[in-house]
Amino acid sequence: MRLIQARKLAHRIKIHRLYRKAFPTNERKPFFIIRSMQKKGKTDVWYFEKEGAFVGFATTINGGDRILLDYLAVVEKKRGKGIGTDMLKLLRTQYEGKGIFLEIERPCADAPNAEERIRRKQFYLSCGMKELNVSARVFGVDMELLGWDCVMDYEDYRLFYRDNYSEFAAEHIQRCDGDSI
């Protein structure tokens, strides 16, 4: 498997299609924002291929010694075959020496997709990520942070968004208390 900076139109089209299928509307930022940030060098958009075929993508927001893994998706037919794990390994190598973190929906027992949330968290933990003990409501979605080689508290998280994404985004991150499962 290899990762490629998604600069070709053909790569971006495949990524955009998967992006729209893999993430619910309330968790997707407009794709033109991702592209704009990529052009400014604030975001990397990665195209993953195995044996010449597209298998998934990832986007990151780059903040010096910390990297936010913003989106990661595997082509539906390829899920459950170790592709996501391999993608994460390649990303970890790509950003060696930097802390990597991500946001997942908090696995709350009363969530309509509670089982999916639990599986997602178990997947990332099985790949060696650790809980960062930060929960936040991000644009109305309750999230928690997981990461590798990363120490972060709520204020660090909010400042990461302010400094590397936008003040507008940082203003839409609120403390979120409560128990997850």
Query: What would the mean pLDDT of 138-149 be, rounded to a whole number?
Result: 88
Is 180 inside a domain boundary? no
89-118 exposure pattern, b = at least 16 Cβ within 10 A, e = fewer: ebbbeebeebbbbbbbbbbbeebeeeeebb
Which percentage of the chain shows pLDDT scores above 90?
69
- Strand, coil or helix: 150: coil
Enter the pTM of the model. Answer: 0.90
For the stretch 106-136, pLDDT in tens is 776 666 666 777 888 999 999 999 999 998 8
What's the CATH code of the domain at 97?
Answer: 3.40.630.30
Query: What would the mean pLDDT of 39-54 be, rounded to a whole number?
Result: 96
Q: Are strands 66-74 and 99-105 parallel, antiparallel or unpaired?
A: parallel
Is 88 inside a domain boundary? yes
d(C-alpha 47, C-alpha 57), whole Å: 5
Long-range contacts of 158-161 (CB under 8 A, 24+ apart): 160/61, 160/63, 160/66, 160/68
Q: Look at 26 and 150; give whichever has higher pLDDT.
A: 150
Residues 6+ apart with CB under 8 A from 26: 139, 140, 141
Is 137 inside a domain boundary? yes
Is 84 inside a domain boundary? yes
What's the confidence (pLDDT) of residue 119?
86
Q: Are strands 141-148 and 43-50 parallel, antiparallel or unpaired?
A: unpaired
Is the alpha carbon torsion for 123, 124, 128, 132 positive or negative?
A: negative
Question: What is the domain extent for residue 58?
Answer: 2-175
pLDDT at 101 over 60: yes
For the stretch 20-33, pLDDT in tens is 999 888 788 899 99
Tokens 């390829």, residue located: 78
Q: Are strands 99-105 and 141-148 parallel, antiparallel or unpaired?
A: antiparallel
| Count of domains forming the chain | 1
Find the largest Cα–Cα distance for the chain: 45
Is 181 inside a domain boundary? no
DSSP characters over 124-175: HHHTT-EEEEEEEEETTEEEEEEEES----HHHHHHHHHHHT-HHHHHTEEE
